[in-house]
Structure 1
Amino acid sequence: MNNEIAERSVVYEVNGEDVKLSSNIIKKYLVSGNAEVSDQEVTMFLQLCRYQKLNPFLREAYLVKFKGSPAQIITSKEAFMKRAEAHPEYNGLKAGIIVDRDGEMMDLEGAIKLEKDKLLGGWAQIYRRDRENPVTVKISLGEFSKGQSTWKTMPLNMIRKTAIVNAMREAFPDTLGSMYTEEESATNVTAPDIESVVQEEVATKANMEIIDVPSDDEVMQGFNEVVNEPEPGPINQAEKPPFA
């Protein structure tokens, strides 16, 4: 690994705003979980954010690591879909759910079914202007639902969205091939769960009740302070700000 790349600051533009990242900034402000990330994992996260123009300070990407598991680089579904839809060849989509209705497997458009239907999975079709046929993907519910609260309360909506993400990646592999959402990660931690982990870490360090995750404006205020500061020295875990 190139240590110079890991330590130097990288500045890139996202939606007209400059984002400054370095190994020290990422380790100090942008890592969640209970295990320490390696320089290589930090560098991979930095390069992905730069290449895909993701702003991790606005929760467009997460770097998460728990003991016994490799670090996971997770992209928010909103950021993923915005970049897919911005592709010049993107020409719309159709998506829905797959159900078992009286022993027959049926593809339904949207995210609504009859009460007697058994949910089996989701499907999506992505249309490109430069291709005659759409990219079609069908996925199984059992491969993606890990029993999280969101999947229990909104299984139809979740499996439909996950099918869309998978189809978009197949339709635009050059743009989205290295990006994965929380449902596709190897860990069981989803975006809402990550925010809970951050809250618990802050509460433990501050010896206080769990507080709310800061708003985007509060996060950007902290980010701007970081940009205007010189490169930080060795990391002092006790000095992490509330949004660490």
Structure 2
Amino acid sequence: MSANSKVVDINKNREELITFTEEEVETIKRTVASDANTDELKMFLHVAKSYGLDPFNKEIFFWKVKGKPTIMTSRDGYLKIADRHPQYDGLVSDVVRKNDSFKRKSDGIEHEYGTERGDIVGAYALVYRKDRSYPVYVFAPFEEYRADTKVWYKYPSAMILKVAESMALKRSFSVSGLVSREEMDVQQLEEDKESPTKRFKKQKEKEDYIDVKDNAQDDSLSQREKEIKRIVGKSPKLKNDLLNYLEHAKKENDIGEEEKMSINKLDDQQFTQLKSILQTFKRLA
């Protein structure tokens, strides 16, 4: 940040751990939070400044889910908040599998395992604070939190551990106004508790007016479509994020309901934003 730049003061009554110049706020409006209206931008900047998370370093993100503003961080974002707190005294976490010896005690966990471990049961996290006699404890059962996505199938241990750690860190330091991608997966699970037929019908209705050529041969795709296909791969979650963005862009570009929206109809700024969002969500996964 330039020392001569004027700093924008969003909230004078609360300690700010990070500040933004007017120029940086304008950049955030064009990039990280381009979907945000004036009030949503103020909210985003307030949360970022309160918790000291830097959007330019990809520590905090703005995203609209079904028109509702969502401010996201990652498990590492929660860790950064904890590390800064003077009472933070450490994090202990692990994945529990069948055949493990696992017992919770008031002041910690007794967890032992050998070489013959079974399927994942869940994960636990304990966050210690110097000003508390007992740690904050969270156990995340695997079957309750597992999302039906490629990353969960490929890295189930890492994902369930992130869920437990995020929840424990968030609870330990009363973090509000933020969610992690893992928590969004959990929220999506709650929203998707409906019949497979109903889910398929909703997806089909969305794809009927949004053109996503994910199954096409590369030689029939435009350069833009190839770039997005490389990012999304076979991830159902990223494909859904792509569809959500195109649905938003369809309304933003005032395209008629009967006309399809495609990646190729995005303007340059929208296409750059789409790539940035998908790449960010891919890294968070």
RMSD of Structure 2 on Structure 1 (CA): 4.0
Of structures 1 and 2, the one with the larger relative CO (CA 8 A, separation 6+) is 1
Could you state the TM-score of these two structures normalised by the residue count of structure 1?
0.61
Structure 2 residues not aligned, in runs of 5+? 1-6, 11-15, 190-211, 213-220, 232-252, 254-265, 277-285
Please state if 1:164 is matched with 2:165.
yes
Please state if 1:147 is matched with 2:148.
yes
CA distance in 2, matches of 1:57, 1:177: 21
Q: One-letter code of the match for 1:95?
A: S
Inter-CA distance 178–205: structure 2 relative to 1 (3 Å threshold): farther
User: Which of 227, 232, 237 is the matching residue for 1:210?
Assistant: 227
Tell me what 2:282 maps to.
none
SS in 2 for 1:210: helix
The question of whether the paired residues in 2 share the 8 Å contact of 1:90 and 1:128 is answered with yes
Alignment of 1:13-92 (within 5 A): 14=18, 21-22=24-25, 24-31=26-33, 36-66=35-65, 68-92=66-90
Tell me what 2:216 maps to.
none
Alignment of 1:180-219 (within 5 A): 180-185=179-184, 186=187, 207=224, 209-210=226-227
Identity rate of aligned residues, in percent? 25
Q: Tell me the alpha carbon deviations over residues 195-221 of structure 1, each in whole angstroms, 9 at most, x when there is no partner.
A: xxxxx9xxx9985742899xxxxxxxx
Tell me what 2:234 maps to.
none
Structure 1 residues not aligned, in runs of 5+? 1-7, 189-199, 214-235
Shift of 1:73: 1.0
Shift of 1:109: 8.1
Inter-CA distance 205–39: structure 2 relative to 1 (3 Å threshold): farther
How many residues align structurally? 192
Inter-CA distance 51–206: structure 2 relative to 1 (3 Å threshold): farther
Q: Point out the structure with the larger helix share.
A: 2
The question of whether the paired residues in 1 share the 8 Å contact of 2:73 and 2:179 is answered with yes
Tell me what 2:269 maps to.
240
CA distance in 1, matches of 2:110, 2:223: 48
The structure with more radius of gyration? 2
